[in-house]
């Protein structure tokens, strides 16, 4: 990554949820990656593969079962109270569901101003009102709407309010957890474009979680693919889309229709058979082995580790074990 500075370093992160006395659900099971300042890292994978849990554990919303998360070199679980408060300001979240994440009975102004008050970013009511109105303009809403209640707004408008709330405290890092999945298709692109614009203007670093590979490509510098609690491949967006290595990534990509019929004909379609196994009882070895058409003997007994097979291109798959 040359001279790029790491902002978030995730090392062997695990998050297990106890189910009952005998069972543990391994939602995130030994995931490592680094996010560099100013980039957008997309994380994709099917529903239930652990994206939300990973995102939340990375920013300290959930306590990790084990592993480390460093933010600008500091372990987020070993911060002083002052450092922790600064961290909760610098790292903001955009939620999947703009209905459940915003209190419908609160006024827009109060939702956006809350963080500014907590972190003492404004010194007078007049300054606060001005700041909120400016934020509403930045997210494409009418500043006069500050006095309205959240329940008066549509899903897309609510997500803009959620974005304004996140930006109100001048964050450095945005954890966007499927921020458009709950919105009408007609407004999805607008909200994505807004996020991209704000990210560029403010030099934000983003982790962008999605289940749709086609959308993530356009907004991510790099993309990581998750399967059943594991990260299976990570590469620059273009590389991942043009030269995917992991059979699961290939299968996800071949599910995306290509508009050009010539390319479509030449494509090597890979069908995903079967269902995602339960994270309470994942297959031994590679979690993907029971659905993989390339599975070899060792795949069902040895868990593959992520290795860098080309500069910046990581894959966890026994097919690439012989490569450097
Ligand atoms: N708070 C929780 N308690 C118990 N299990 C959970 C909890 N949150 C998520 N899970 C489980 O962890 C797995 C991963 O969930 P999640 O991180 O939400 O996946 P994704 O965001 O990729 O859909 C799922 O099997 C889900 O049921
Ligand atoms: Mg999720």
CA distance 211 to 108: 29
Who contacts 225 (Cβ-Cβ below 8 Å, separation ≥6)? Answer: 43, 44, 45, 231, 232, 233, 234, 240, 246, 248, 249, 252
Q: What is the domain-level CATH number for residue 60?
A: 3.40.50.300
For a mutational test of ligand 1's pocket, the pick from 53, 56, 97, 181, i.e. the residue with the most ligand atoms closer than 8 A to its C-beta, is: 53
pLDDT digit string, tens, across residues 249-286: 999 988 777 667 776 666 666 677 777 888 898 889 99
What backbone phi and psi angles, to 5 degrees, belong to 35?
-110, 135
CA distance 277 to 316: 18
Residue 12 lies in a domain: yes
How confident is residue 86, by pLDDT bands cut at 50, 70 and 90? very high
Checking if the pLDDT of 2 tops 70, the result is no
| pLDDT average, residue stretch 11-25 | 95
| Residue predicted with more confidence, 115 or 262 | 115
- Of 318, 281, 292, the closest CA to residue 303 belongs to 318
Q: Is 10 helix (H, G, I), strand (E, B) or coil?
A: strand
| Residue predicted with more confidence, 135 or 253 | 135
The pLDDT value recorded for residue 281 is 87
How confident is residue 235, by pLDDT bands cut at 50, 70 and 90? very high
CA distance 226 to 139: 31
Checking if the pLDDT of 149 tops 60, the result is yes
Checking if the pLDDT of 7 tops 60, the result is yes
CA distance 320 to 163: 41
Considering the chain, what is the average pLDDT of its residues?
Answer: 93
| Sheet order of strands, 66-71 included | 24-36, 6-18, 66-71, 74-75
The pLDDT value recorded for residue 3 is 75
Checking if the pLDDT of 107 tops 90, the result is yes
pTM: 0.93
Checking if the pLDDT of 215 tops 50, the result is yes
Residue 1 lies in a domain: no
Domain total of the chain = 1
Residue 204 lies in a domain: yes
The pLDDT value recorded for residue 324 is 45
Are 77 and 66 in contact, with CB atoms under 8 Å apart?
no
The pLDDT value recorded for residue 92 is 98
Percent share of the chain, pLDDT over 90: 82
Residue 106 lies in a domain: yes
Residue 159 lies in a domain: yes
Residue 10 lies in a domain: yes
CA distance 46 to 286: 17
For a mutational test of ligand 1's pocket, the pick from 27, 181, 275, 278, i.e. the residue with the most ligand atoms closer than 8 A to its C-beta, is: 27
Domain boundaries, position 216: 6-320
If you ran DSSP here, which 8-state letter would residue 141 be given?
-
- Of 197, 7, 145, 167, the closest CA to residue 92 belongs to 167
Are 252 and 240 in contact, with CB atoms under 8 Å apart?
no
| pLDDT average, residue stretch 88-95 | 97
CA distance 258 to 77: 44
Residue 87 lies in a domain: yes
The pLDDT value recorded for residue 213 is 85
CA distance 43 to 210: 6
Ligand that comes closest to the CA of residue 178: 2
Q: Is the CB of 57 under 6 A from ligand 1?
A: no
Are 285 and 298 in contact, with CB atoms under 8 Å apart?
yes
Residue 260 lies in a domain: yes
Q: Is the CB of 48 under 6 A from ligand 1?
A: yes
Ligand 1 atom nearest 278 alpha carbon: 25
């Amino acid at each position: 990554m040359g001279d790029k500075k790491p902002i978030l370093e995730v090392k062997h992160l695990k998050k297990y949820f106890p189910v009952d006395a005998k069972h543990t659900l391994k939602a995130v099971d030994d995931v490592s990656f680094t996010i560099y300042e100013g980039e957008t890292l997309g994380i994709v994978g099917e529903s239930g593969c652990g994206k939300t849990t990973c995102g939340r554990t990375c920013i300290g919303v959930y306590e990790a079962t084990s592993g480390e998360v460093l933010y600008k070199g500091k372990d987020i679980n070993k911060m002083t109270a002052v450092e922790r408060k600064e961290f909760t300001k610098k790292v903001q979240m955009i939620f999947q569901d703009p209905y459940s994440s915003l209190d419908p009975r609160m006024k827009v102004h109060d939702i956006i101003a809350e963080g500014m008050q907590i972190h003492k970013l404004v010194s007078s009511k007049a300054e606060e009102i001005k700041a909120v109105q400016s934020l509403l303009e930045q997210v494409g809403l009418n500043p006069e709407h500050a006095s309205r209640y959240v329940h008066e707004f549509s899903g897309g408008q609510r997500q803009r309010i959620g974005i304004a709330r996140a930006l109100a405290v001048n964050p450095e890092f945005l954890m966007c957890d499927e921020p458009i999945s709950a919105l009408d298709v007609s407004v999805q692109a607008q909200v994505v474009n807004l996020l991209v614009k704000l990210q560029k203007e403010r030099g934000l670093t983003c982790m962008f979680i999605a289940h749709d590979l086609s959308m993530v490509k356009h907004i991510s510098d790099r993309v990581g693919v998750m399967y059943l609690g594991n990260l299976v491949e990570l590469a620059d967006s273009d590389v991942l889309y043009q030269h995917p290595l992991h059979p699961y990534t290939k299968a996800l990509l071949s599910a995306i229709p290509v508009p050009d019929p010539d390319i479509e004909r030449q494509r090597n379609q890979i069908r995903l058979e079967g269902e995602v196994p339960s994270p309470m009882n994942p297959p031994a070895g590679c979690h993907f082995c029971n659905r993989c058409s390339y599975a070899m003997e060792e795949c069902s007994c040895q868990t593959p580790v992520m290795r860098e097979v080309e500069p910046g291109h990581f894959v966890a798959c026994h097919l690439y074990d012989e490569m450097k």
